[in-house]
Chain A
Amino acid sequence: MWQAIKSVLAAFLGVQKDERRREDFRSERPGTFIVAGVIVGLLFVLLVAFVAVMAAR
């Protein structure tokens, strides 16, 4: 799972090594990555929302 989250974070940054990519796609189960993507996506929304709320004070 941690690997998947790291990959999703790399995706958000837009940088990934070929080697890591091959490892990611070696697993035949995209489920982990989808779950990780949704979780990181939600965390991202919460983080930005938090920053926005703090900035608006």
Chain B
Amino acid sequence: MASQLPPKPTPQHSTATAGGMAESGHYRPRGLMRWLLTTNHKEIGTLYLLFSLTMFFIGGIFALVVRAELFQPGLQLVQPEFFNQMTTMHGLIMVFGAIMPAFVGLANWMVPLQIGAPDMALPRLNNFSFWLLPVAFLLLLSTLLMPGGGPNFGWTFYAPLSTTYAPPSTSFFILSLHLAGISSILGAINIIATILNLRAPGMRMMDMPLFVWTWLITAFLLIAVMPVLAGVITMMLMDINFGTSFFNAAGGGDPVLFQHLFWFFGHPEVYIMILPAFGIVSAIIPTFSRKRLFGYASMVYATAAIAILSFMVWAHHMFIVGLPLVAELFFMYTTMLIAVPTGVKVFNWVATMFRGSISFEPPMLFALAFVVQFTVGGFSGLMLAIAPADFQYHDTYFVVAHFHYVLVPGALFAILAGAYYWLPKWTGHYPPLRLSQWHFWLSVIGVNLTFFPMHFSGLAGMPRRIPDYALQFADFNLASSLGGFLFGASQLLFVLVIIKCVRGGEKAPAKAWEGAEDLEWSVPSPAPLHTFETPPTFHPREH
């Protein structure tokens, strides 16, 4: 259907005008109503990003409660019940409230600008999918105040701990996850519709920047797996409230079925959180190497392959749950194979830098740190893929180290890199250089001090999700806690950077970075509320 549409822009903004929202001189709500009712992709993008930043700090405070309790052996600050709520909420908020909305926010801002579209294809849906999120997360956070406390069964909420043995607030947790899931699906539909239909005349799929490509593939992944999550939490809801026994062995159900369903969602979810990061880094590294991305075609194809493969590896999260031997072997092989296209991307980035002309502006610093640290996370992922060894690694701090390396110095650093890269476009000012560098270096030191020792404590035998630990893990935990507080505190510098950048600073021209090539750099900085009202003519680069 989509392919039959000519690749010309629809005059989307004129429909918006009909709603009385767009052109200057027309009625425009002010104050709170302006943000509540906005259908502008830039404003909604900003809302997403601010929401995500808020959630990042809330989830971060929860993480610091955890790290403070683990500062030394013994129970000092919180009791185990509350500790479990903190680890659970930290995971849920960071995954669904911070990382995912940040990428959606960047997509909202940048996808239309990068493909020369005037706005997202479905602006009202865009508004709706954003405003679902604050509702969802207020509901989720409110469970902490309910009798029996909030969710305390880990962000993976394995049944029957999350059903028969769960606190009474679990039904609210399920509802909030449903809302967040609907928001994701609607956002994904919007992004697909925008990319397929609103590209500038002359821009074919193969000319799209890699960020657009990775988001297109991510959006398909979201549409494929979010309904699975919705299904599994609905089954939980039925088990809790309506006496069904999907996951209750006493009633003939199967607790392991829960894990299969959860990870069938959960593993593609991992790629949902990392593919857009690949896209951002693939924009930044060529810009500051002043050289075209090496192997663009390979990158696009490999991303598509990773997306397909990501549906075939889910049970590597379940190696010790008692799968049959054939299943263990199958999932070990597929998991080892998915490492190859992922590794190839790292090689491509290095080859892009090779014989480039490299400078080290803040976005580049974060992108480089991403490459190194994401690769470290990839290495531990490779080790975890070896099923017999996973019998030792599973559910230890080694796994905690692994996925935090992929998600914090990985995905989060890519988001920060993207923010620094596009802040001049958003605000019209360069981020303050010194402060940005301080932010970068303190973050790098903090994040590695936090997560690197976790490899050691995990290998030495420390299980995850415990509020207290044996004495031999004390030194590693001390280092992790110190690092955690350093990393948390240094993120306040990022807030300072944003405030300063919004208020003023060195003026940025339309093309803020010397080596930047994509369409967003052809509109003025800061980008006016409405861009590309007349579609630009896109000239593919000569090869």
Contacts and interface: CB of A to CB of B under 8 A. Distances in A.
Interface of A: 7, 10-18, 20-22, 24-25, 28-31, 37, 41, 44-45, 48-49, 51-53, 55-56
Given A7-B301, A20-B297, A45-B312, 18 more contacts: A10-B301, A12-B305, A12-B309, A13-B340, A14-B298, A15-B298, A16-B297, A16-B300, A18-B296, A18-B297, A21-B206, A21-B300, A29-B3, A37-B304, A37-B308, A48-B330, A55-B329, A56-B326
24 contacts: A11-B302, A11-B304, A11-B305, A12-B305, A12-B341, A13-B340, A14-B298, A14-B340, A16-B297, A16-B298, A16-B300, A18-B297, A21-B296, A21-B297, A21-B300, A25-B205, A28-B3, A29-B3, A37-B304, A41-B312, A44-B312, A51-B329, A51-B333, A56-B326
A25 B204 CA distance: 8
B334 interface: yes
B207 to A, nearest CB: 9
B326 A53 contact: yes
A48 B327 CA distance: 10
Interface residues of B, number: 29
A11 B301 CA distance: 4
Nearest to B334: A48
Interface string B329-366: 11001100100110011000000000000000000000
Contacts of A13: 305, 340-341
B295 interface: yes
Of all A-B residue pairs in the complex, the 9 with the closest CB atoms, nearest first, are: A14-B302, A11-B301, A14-B341, A21-B297, A52-B329, A25-B206, A52-B330, A14-B344, A16-B297
B127 to A, nearest CB: 30
Interface of B is mostly: helix
B18 interface: no
B32 interface: no
Candidate in B205, B308, B327 with the most chain A CB atoms within 10 angstroms: B308
A44 B205 CA distance: 26
A30 B3 contact: yes
Interface in B267-312: 295-298, 300-302, 304-305, 308-309, 312
Contacts of A25: 204-206
B74 to A, nearest CB: 46
Contacts of B345: 14
A14 B305 contact: yes
A18 B543 CA distance: 9
Interface string B9-20: 000000000000
B470 interface: no
A27 to B, nearest CB: 9
A7 B204 CA distance: 18
A55 B330 CA distance: 10
B325 interface: yes
A20 B327 CA distance: 36
A14 B301 contact: yes
A15 to B, nearest CB: 5
A12 B339 CA distance: 11
Contacts of A12: 305, 309, 341
Nearest to B342: A14
A30 B344 CA distance: 25
Contacts of A52: 326-327, 329-330, 333
B301 A16 contact: yes
Contacts of A11: 301-302, 304-305
A13 B343 CA distance: 11
Contacts of A14: 298, 301-302, 305, 340-341, 344-345
B157 to A, nearest CB: 28
A52 to B, nearest CB: 4
A56 B325 contact: yes
Contacts of B325: 56
Contacts of B301: 7, 10-11, 14-16, 21
Nearest to A12: B305
Contacts of B3: 28-31
A49 B341 CA distance: 20
A41 B308 contact: yes
A16 B204 CA distance: 18
B329 A15 contact: no
Nearest to B331: A52
Contacts of B312: 41, 44-45, 48
A30 to B, nearest CB: 6
A21 B295 CA distance: 11
Nearest to A28: B3
Contact of A22 (B206, B304, B341): B206
Contacts of B298: 14-16
B35 to A, nearest CB: 37
A55 B332 CA distance: 12
A31 B308 CA distance: 16
A39 B341 CA distance: 19
Contacts of B309: 12
A37 B308 CA distance: 8
A17 B297 contact: yes
A28 B2 CA distance: 10
B330 A49 contact: yes
Contacts of A53: 326
A47 B42 CA distance: 47
